[in-house]
Amino acid sequence: MSEILVLVDHVDGEVKKVTLELLTLARSLGTPAAVWAGPGITDAAKARLAEYGAEKIYVEGSGDIVDFVVAPKAELLAHLMAEKSPAAVLVAATSEGKEIAGRLAVKTDSGVITDAVGLGEGFVAEQSIFGGGVNVRSRVRRGTPIVAVRPNSTAPVAAAGAGAEEQVSLMLSGSARGARVLDRVKQEKGARPELTEAAIVVSGGRGVGSAENFSVIEGLADALGAAVGASRAATDAGWYPHQFQVGQTGKTVSPQLYVAAGISGAIQHRAGMQTAKTIVAINKDPEAPIFELADYGVVGDLHQVVPQLAEEVKKRK
Amino acid sequence: MNIVVCVKQVPDTATERKLRSDDKTLDRDAVDGVVNELDEYAVEEALKLKEAHGGEVTVLTMGPGKATETIRKALAMGADKAVHLTDDALHGSDALSTSYALSQALKRIGFDLVVLGSESTDARTGMLPAMLAERLDVPQLTLANKVEIEGGEVVIQRITDYGYDKVAAELPAVLSVVEKINEPRYPSFKGIMAAKKKPVETLAIGDAEIAADQVGLGAAWSEVVEFAAAPPRAAGTIVKDEGDGGQKAADFLASKKFI
Ligand SMILES: Cc1cc2nc3c(=O)[nH]c(=O)nc-3n(C[C@H](O)[C@H](O)[C@H](O)COP(=O)(O)OP(=O)(O)OC[C@H]3O[C@@H](n4cnc5c(N)ncnc54)[C@H](O)[C@@H]3O)c2cc1C
Ligand SMILES: Nc1ncnc2c1ncn2[C@@H]1O[C@H](COP(=O)(O)O)[C@@H](O)[C@H]1O
């Protein structure tokens, strides 16, 4: 079976969960080969990739790859596509993943599909568009399929692969060195799972009322082992940092469970969360549109309901 | 500085959007077109940069005839002139074709800086800015929530999962902006009147040396195989909090094995 390249998403030497999902998906369609771009690969990371089925691990470990924005990673993948003729290339549908996919598609004259929530035989991708109103099946018909897959689209399943490491060295072109990263600024990130990867997300909106009150949301999130999200009204008010915004112009999340507290459910918010498998809403307005999406809704004051729910969760765990 | 801002007309997100049953493309005739919300931030940023550094702002739109409404709005906000790339041959173009067509138009117009929104509300690919940088062979300064230009160098804050990256590049470059970057101005009455007299150049594909076999539905690198309205979500259970709302919600979570 031919190889399927999976671009590894990693932070501080750790492989992100979405990569394990992509390897699982790749295994059902061909032979997964992981591509590691940048310095910092560890034995533990290699073992993890192999555990989830990577037969090969291509490593280009130079700093240049990550010191310039997006273009070097696209160049690396293009180089591997020319050399290995894979059947497809999978990346995570994060903002950066989609940008990499876009540049790669131009470079290799190949079709690209973004925000796939499923991928089957013949690399036919499933997508959910127009705020969840329409389900689409689409496919690439020119070149090698490049598919950006949303985190949480598949459950990662371990199945050992050989994990044979192969060093790759790439001569970066001048064009790929156009946009230099001068500095990386990390804003507070606690022990919580990352928003786009989390199986459970608890989000707060304008109804939370203040920055201090977000501790109510965090309390429930921690009881459930969830990530915290926020509506734009809450991030605009400065109650929660922008990188936690869920929606059209924030993160797109697709968790198993999404809890929305004090969020009305504006179309731009829905665009970022409507593919969640189960949705729970807490809102004091029975007419709030979020209830149209909710599998379970509580009409009430979140300041009562959410702490009580957090207590119950802790009790029953 | 010669700034070109790419603005797209999209269906109003408040209306029901549909795919056409014949060729499976977005039905643009059936719905009201509005400026892609995120592109208003791109126009605003372009105007601010012009105000600070001088130059001219040109609006570039690829879309059907009625996209002129969108162009007028951007002109009313304060852009100087516009180019409307419109041709039946462009109907059904995917992201690869659109980026190709826009890049050809941009080469013809000439630019120091191209400014885009970070995403369109209809296609939602978020790829156009990166694709344009690749095609035009200029640096990619995307997902900016802050932009500064000094001399020939642009420095942005690029939004990331963990916070932001500070990124620098020389002009010419492609810039995309997120909605935190500014507050778009409303067109004034004077602006709306002035917009009517501003020049709008209409280009067909031949005028911008766009190869017919690289655009439109026939050339698309990807295709919709089939589509269907999403099955309606089964109506959920909604309860009123009687002092035990949290417990009831916990019962629900337990029934779904979340706890
Ligand atoms: C270009 C653009 C991009 C956008 N992108 C995004 C985006 O990415 N993400 C996003 O979220 N929004 C986005 N928006 C904004 C969006 O339109 C809404 O304004 C926003 O989602 C509203 O946030 P909210 O639901 O928290 O606030 P509101 O709409 O004000 O709703 C607050 C809700 O809280 C309820 N409430 C109040 N007090 C309590 C209480 N004590 N207990 C329980 N419930 C209570 C109220 O009944 C109400 O339903 C965007 C808008 C634009 C124009
Ligand atoms: N047809 C178009 N005409 C002009 N600009 C466009 C067009 N399509 C996309 N863009 C620009 O590209 C950005 C990203 O769009 P997208 O990649 O479709 O999500 C938009 O915010 C616009 O600035």
How large is the ipTM?
0.90
Q: What is the C-alpha separation between B209 and B191, in angstroms, rounded?
A: 33
Weakly modelled stretches of chain A, pLDDT under 70 = 1, 188-189
Q: What is the C-alpha separation between B14 and A314, in angstroms, rounded?
A: 40
pLDDT, tens digit (0-9, with 9 covering 90-100), for A119-149 = 999 999 999 887 777 889 999 999 999 999 9
Ligand 2 center to B60 CA (angstroms) = 10
Q: What is the pLDDT of residue B240?
A: 97
A247 Cβ below 6 A of ligand 1: yes
Q: What is the C-alpha separation between B25 and B43, in angstroms, rounded?
A: 27
Q: What is the pLDDT of residue A189?
A: 63
Rounded mean pLDDT of chain B?
Answer: 94
DSSP state of B239: E
B85 Cβ below 6 A of ligand 2: no
Q: What is the pLDDT of residue B7?
A: 98
B70 Cβ below 6 A of ligand 2: no
Q: What is the largest CA-CA distance in chain B?
A: 69
pLDDT, tens digit (0-9, with 9 covering 90-100), for B187-213 = 999 999 999 999 999 999 999 999 999
Q: What is the pLDDT of residue B238?
A: 97
Interface test with B, best of A75, A140, A180 (most B CBs within 10 A): A180
pLDDT, tens digit (0-9, with 9 covering 90-100), for B148-164 = 998 889 999 999 888 89
The token duo for A233 is 């009204």
CA-CA-CA-CA torsion sign (B74, A232, B19, A120): positive
Q: What is the C-alpha separation between B211 and A247, in angstroms, rounded?
A: 37
Q: Is the pLDDT of residue B13 over 80?
A: no
Report which of A155, A307, A95, A34 is spatially closest to residue B142, judged by C-alpha positions: A95
Alpha carbon distance, N-terminus to C-terminus of chain B = 59
For B177-186, what is the mean pLDDT?
94
DSSP state of B220: -
Whether the link from the prior residue into B129 is cis, omega within 30° of 0, is no
Q: What is the C-alpha separation between B17 and A311, in angstroms, rounded?
A: 42
Q: Which residues of B touch A139 (CB under 8 A)?
A: 222-223, 225
Specify the amino acid at residue B205. I
For the segment(s) A3-177, the CATH number from 1.10.30.50, 3.40.630.30, 3.40.50.720, 3.40.50.620 is: 3.40.50.620
The token duo for A31 is 């032979």
Cβ-Cβ pairs closer than 8 A, A with B, add up to 282
- Binned at pLDDT 50, 70 and 90, residue B15 comes out as confident
Q: CA-based Rg of chain A, rounded to a whole angstrom? A: 20
Supply the pTM of this predicted model.
0.90
The token duo for B138 is 């200029």
The token duo for A12 is 């501080």
Q: What is the pLDDT of residue A1?
A: 65
Ligand 2 center to B42 CA (angstroms) = 11
Q: What is the pLDDT of residue B152?
A: 85
Q: What is the pLDDT of residue A186?
A: 87
Residue B57: C-alpha distances to residues A203, B4, B6, B98 (Å): 39, 6, 11, 21
Report which of A52, A103, A45, A53 is spatially closest to residue A79, judged by C-alpha positions: A103
DSSP B131-164: HHHHHHT--EEEEEEEEEEETTEEEEEEEETTEE
- Binned at pLDDT 50, 70 and 90, residue B12 comes out as confident
| 3-class secondary-structure state, position A310 | helix
φ, ψ for residue A34, nearest 5 deg: -85, 145
The residue extents of the domains of chain B are: 2-226
What CATH code would you report for B2-226? 3.40.50.620
Q: Is the pLDDT of residue B114 over 70?
A: yes
The residue extents of the domains of chain A are: 3-177, 195-315
The token duo for A216 is 């109510």
In CATH terms, the superfamily for domain A195-315 is TPP-binding domain (3.40.50.1220)
pLDDT, tens digit (0-9, with 9 covering 90-100), for B227-249 = 998 888 788 999 999 999 999 99
CB A155 within 8 A of CB A256: no
Topology alike, domains A3-177 and A195-315: yes
The token duo for A297 is 């809704």
CA distance B45 to chain A (A): 17
- Binned at pLDDT 50, 70 and 90, residue B26 comes out as confident
Q: What is the C-alpha separation between B251 and B259, in angstroms, rounded?
A: 9
